Structure 1
Amino acid sequence: MSMRFTPLLLATAVLGGGLGMAGTAAAHGTMTTPASRVYACFQGNPENPTNPACAAAKAVAGSQAFYDWNGINQANANGNHQAVVPDGKLCSGNNPTFRGLDLNRSDWSTTPIQPDANGRFTFVFKATAPHATRDWRFFVTRDGWQPGSPLRWADLQEFCTLGNTPLSADGTYKLQCTLPQRSGQHVIYNTWQRSDSTEAFYTCMDVRFEGSGGGTPPVAQWQDAGPVTARGDLPVGTTLALRVFNAGGNDVERVETTLAAGQTTPAQWPLALARKVNASAQQARVGVLRDGVITPVASATENRVYLKAGQRFQLDTRVPDTGTPPGGGNGTFDYVYPAGIGSYKAGETVVKGTDGKLYACRPFPQGGWCNVAGEAYRPGVGSAWRDAWIPY
């Protein structure tokens, strides 16, 4: 008898183990600070929810979704979140298991939220299975959105994007963002896109904004300081630096980003710069001002720099050293602009501009302008380029 039942027992053990491993592999995480909608329901007694909205969600889809709080995902998102998660299904991530979370109610449990003295807030994501990350993106409902209304992509405005973030020793990702100016009850929506897979995860957080924290000025106090204008492709590895100066001309802040593949076109490199600035700068924001939120966009001309009153900025561009010696290796040009700025010789140096054309540094004394960095003297395209260069 034991021989007849052993295979069945083994099969049951393997099947049970397999299911257990599959459940673990499918579990990935959720936001715990502020508590996500699903995590708040899990913490509030999954079988007999104390929150009426959670009770309604249980009536629609059962309590299992609360126990599976770490699995709101789409396997084939690949960054195309609006394609795989339609309007009205954002909180469930269009995953039927979690459909109760999409109920349009104003009585979901909310978490008070306010920025620190620097205008920032640290989101905490509890990771039951960490992954390599392409990006974390944070959105907030627009001013005028009413709690209990259907949640649509058009209701959301992006306010923070972060890249790959190290996992903390306590098994969480700590994600620091500058909070947008809001008051009262809103939804903060987060997408987590893996870089090692097309899989993405989705989180709804019901929050109540309480106070400014005294650090970040209201949008009304940001002054439009001018555009970020992309006039051509930049090489992979190019370093962009936004420098902010006070009224006396002193440096007060510098934010750098290095372009990776996919970030080098005229529409994409301003977006990469803007996201880095908005995620880390205290003195500057870059993007398009709409409804009180400064949002970066993929555009060669639409993004603008916003500073505090009396400040100004400069954008420095440094292309990677390709190892090509002066003369370009074939005697046609000495540098790919702006590489080598500071060592250009009046009347001698020839550069290849970002428009692909060649330019010679003017003879002395005008040639001194060749070594001045900045968009105004970018050969062929800057507003004052003819003061420094002549076509070659």
Structure 2
Amino acid sequence: MHKKRKLAAVIGAGLSPLFVLGLSVSPASAHGYISDPASRQAQCAAGVVECGSIKYEPQSVEGPKGLKDCAGGHDEWAELRDANRGWNVANVGKTATFSWTLTAPHRTTTWEYFIDGQKIAEFDQGGQQPPNHLSHQVDFKNFSGRQTVLARWNVADTANAFYACVDVNIG
């Protein structure tokens, strides 16, 4: 009987790491994206534009802080970089409100908005955790016509940020 218990313990100890590894590879519970006007990844998720795997997790465009990349540095989501993919373009005035849907809010330092690599707006969250839905009103200053707005959500408690691009027609 003692040998059976010892064998069971050895088998259990051997399988435990596999069980733990299996738990750790399950998908993350998401993060956030711009839902209005619809970001490129939101359009992918809604089936407006044919995209790859990002359509299943539009909230997961996460990459190192400091990038200015619609795909957050991920080549598997390269379609988010393609300005000629047929994205719906939102008609906006000289200001627009960008609404975020956060599926897993993180403590946040700043929210930044760029056109052509130039920062046009920044909102300081002060390291606080935002609500699941929030909006920012962005002034487009001297920009007009068709533009791609890159939004960057800088997370306070990791080295990463979340990225979203929205195509707008300013005028």
- TM bucket (normalised to shorter chain) is 0.7 to 0.9
Q: 2:35 matched to which residue of 1?
A: 32
Residues 104 and 159 of structure 1, relative CA distance in 2, 3 Å threshold: closer
Whichever residue aligns with residue 90 of structure 2, its letter is T
Is the partner of 1:23 in helix, strand or coil? Answer: coil
Q: For the Cα contact (< 8 Å) 2:31–2:102, is it kept in 1?
A: yes
Alignment pair present for 1:108 and 2:97: no
Distance in structure 2 (CA, Å) of the matches to 1:186 and 1:178: 13
- What aligned pairs does 1:227-266 form with structure 2 within 5 A after superposition? none
Point out where structure 1 has 5 or more consecutive residues left out of the alignment: 141-154, 211-392
Q: 2:163 matched to which residue of 1?
A: 202
Q: Which among 147, 151, 171 is matched to residue 186 of structure 1?
A: 147
Is the partner of 2:79 in helix, strand or coil? Answer: helix
Is the partner of 1:70 in helix, strand or coil? Answer: helix
Q: Which among 58, 62, 80 is matched to residue 69 of structure 1?
A: 58
* Shift in Å, 1:33: 1.5
Q: 1:122 matched to which residue of 2?
A: 97
Whichever residue aligns with residue 125 of structure 1, its letter is W
Q: 1:23 matched to which residue of 2?
A: 28
Q: 1:220 matched to which residue of 2?
A: none
Q: 2:4 matched to which residue of 1?
A: none
Is the partner of 2:55 in helix, strand or coil? Answer: helix
Q: 1:99 matched to which residue of 2?
A: 78
Distance in structure 2 (CA, Å) of the matches to 1:104 and 1:40: 13
Q: For the Cα contact (< 8 Å) 2:148–2:167, is it kept in 1?
A: yes
Q: For the Cα contact (< 8 Å) 1:34–1:113, is it kept in 2?
A: no
Residues 58-102 of structure 1 show CA distances to partners (whole Å, capped at 9, x for unaligned) of 3xxx3x21111111111xx3x4x24xx6xxxx2111112311222
* Higher share of residues assigned strand: 2
Residues 184-204 of structure 1 show CA distances to partners (whole Å, capped at 9, x for unaligned) of 211001111112111111111
Q: For the Cα contact (< 8 Å) 2:44–2:54, is it kept in 1?
A: no
Q: For the Cα contact (< 8 Å) 1:124–1:175, is it kept in 2?
A: yes
Q: Which among 112, 130, 144 is matched to residue 167 of structure 1?
A: 130
- What aligned pairs does 1:138-149 form with structure 2 within 5 A after superposition? 138-140=113-115
Whichever residue aligns with residue 105 of structure 1, its letter is N
Query: RMSD over aligned Cα, in angstroms?
Result: 2.8
Is the partner of 2:106 in helix, strand or coil? Answer: coil
* Shift in Å, 1:32: 0.9
Residues 109 and 186 of structure 1, relative CA distance in 2, 3 Å threshold: same
Report sequence identity in percent: 25
Whichever residue aligns with residue 28 of structure 2, its letter is G
* Shift in Å, 1:12: 9.2
Is the partner of 1:160 in helix, strand or coil? Answer: strand
Whichever residue aligns with residue 124 of structure 1, its letter is S
TM-score using structure 1 length: 0.36
Distance in structure 2 (CA, Å) of the matches to 1:40 and 1:67: 11
Distance in structure 2 (CA, Å) of the matches to 1:185 and 1:157: 15
Distance in structure 1 (CA, Å) of the matches to 2:135 and 2:112: 13
Is the partner of 2:58 in helix, strand or coil? Answer: coil
Q: 1:132 matched to which residue of 2?
A: 107
Rg larger for: 1
Residues 66 and 134 of structure 1, relative CA distance in 2, 3 Å threshold: same
* Shift in Å, 1:156: 2.5
- What aligned pairs does 1:334-345 form with structure 2 within 5 A after superposition? none
Distance in structure 2 (CA, Å) of the matches to 1:94 and 1:161: 21
Q: For the Cα contact (< 8 Å) 2:112–2:122, is it kept in 1?
A: yes
* Shift in Å, 1:37: 0.5
